[in-house]
Structure formats: C-alpha cells, structure tokens
Structure 1
Amino acid sequence: MMMIKQRYTNQRGFNLIELMIVVVIIGIIAAIAYPSYLEQVRQTRRANAQADMQELASYMERFYSENYTYAGAGANQPFAQSPQTGQAYYQLNLLNLTATGFDVQAIPQGSQAADSCGTMVLDETAAGTPANCW
C-alpha cells in the first residue's frame, strides 16, 4: 500500500480574536490621547490670544504716546479677533478706556469656550487675569 502524504501549508494571517485585541488596544490609546490632544489645542489657541492681546496693548501704548490719553483708541482698534484672520477663537475688546488706563478683554468663542481660563483680561500695567492662565 502506498501512503499518500498530505501537505499542510502553514496558514498565515490573523484570526478574529487577534484582530479584536488590536482594535481594543487602539481604542484605549485613543480614549486616553484624544482629550489630551484637545487640551493642547486649547492651550495653543489661548497662547495665540494672549499674544494678540499684548499686540493690542502695544497699540494702546503707541496711541497714548501720540495723544497723551487712551480714551478714543477704541474707534481705531486694528483687529477684533484672535487669530486675526480665519476662524475666531477669541473676540478681543478694548474696555474701560480712560485718560490713564485701559483693559484688553478676550472672550472665548466656539470650541474654545470650553477653555478652563474663560474670559481673559490684560490691563495697562500688563497684569493679566485670571492669574493662573498667564
């Protein structure tokens, strides 16, 4: 009698259990990383708004050096949002314009409204509030 040898080929690939384990691991990593990513985006937008607020404060100082007052500068505010072009994440306002003082206010807009700092204010002495956000 002649024996017939059967050839078994090595099967390659993934089975369903292995694939599901990989999907679960990717889901866990995404659940941890995505909120952290969103917080970093908020912090970057906040830093950009703070830079724009300081630019407005510099504008106010130039206005004061030409006019010896801060009053009246609001009519010529060079920009009213941060970033200055594109989608606004902060609305910028000049408030409390007097002969000797001013406030630059940044109000979060849209998705940036979830920022923990909320509305930020910078005054003529370069003091920013809330203090923990500067």
Structure 2
Amino acid sequence: MSETLDQRLDAIAAHPFRAKFHLRGRDRATAELRGLATMRWHARDLIARRLAPAAPPKDGRQTPYRGHPVFVAQHATATCCRNCLQRWHGIAKGHELSPAERAYVVDVICRWIEREMSAPPASG
C-alpha cells in the first residue's frame, strides 16, 4: 500500500459523517491528561475485546459515540465495526483480526488522536 496513514485519514475525513468527529470536552481532556501512550494501551485493549473477534457481539453497534477518546477516534477513522473496517480499510469480515491487523487499527486510531491533540480544540 503506497498510501500513508495520514493520506488514509485525510480521505476518510473527507466523508461528511466522519468529518464531524473531533475530540471535545471530557474526551479531549482525558486524552490530554492520560497522554498518547495510555491512549495506545486503551486502544489495544478495546480493539482486542470489541473489534478483533471474527464475529464481535453487537457488531455495528458496539462502539459508543463518546465516553472515551478511542471511541470517538474509532468513528472518525471508520474502525468502529467490521463493516466499516472492510469498507474503508480493506480488512475482511469473518475472521479474527491478526496481530498485524490489530496493530494497524491501533496505529490508525492513535494517529488520529495525535493529530487531534496537535490541532486547536474544535468548537461545538
């Protein structure tokens, strides 16, 4: 894949639904307080439990829209369910995510959080 992570994130952010997600309020404060290393650890844990199984429980409805920076990032990056993962990232449904696929998803989420933290807070 010649596309960089930032190019992939920019393409996803061009979609109107994905573009509306930003770290705001408590979610942004949590990311600032805990730091990127902790966000990465949380992302690994959440992906392992909620997205990595071959048939995740409640797939398509398992990711809240707020309540943790990783949840917001999952919606912003189309890593919220197996359908989105297949459509936007080319990772097929129906199999448990491999260690490389899990690492990729975590990298996408953490890069989005990193970009959000380096930008001025979004209004709204």
Question: How high is the TM-score relative to the length of structure 1?
Answer: 0.31
Question: How high is the TM-score relative to the length of structure 2?
Answer: 0.33
Q: Report which of the two structures shows the higher radius of gyration computed on alpha carbons.
A: 1
User: Would you tell me which structure has more strand in proportion to its own residues?
Assistant: 1
The structure showing larger relative contact order (alpha-carbon pairs under 8 Å, at least 6 residues apart) is 2
User: Would you tell me which structure has more helix in proportion to its own residues?
Assistant: 2
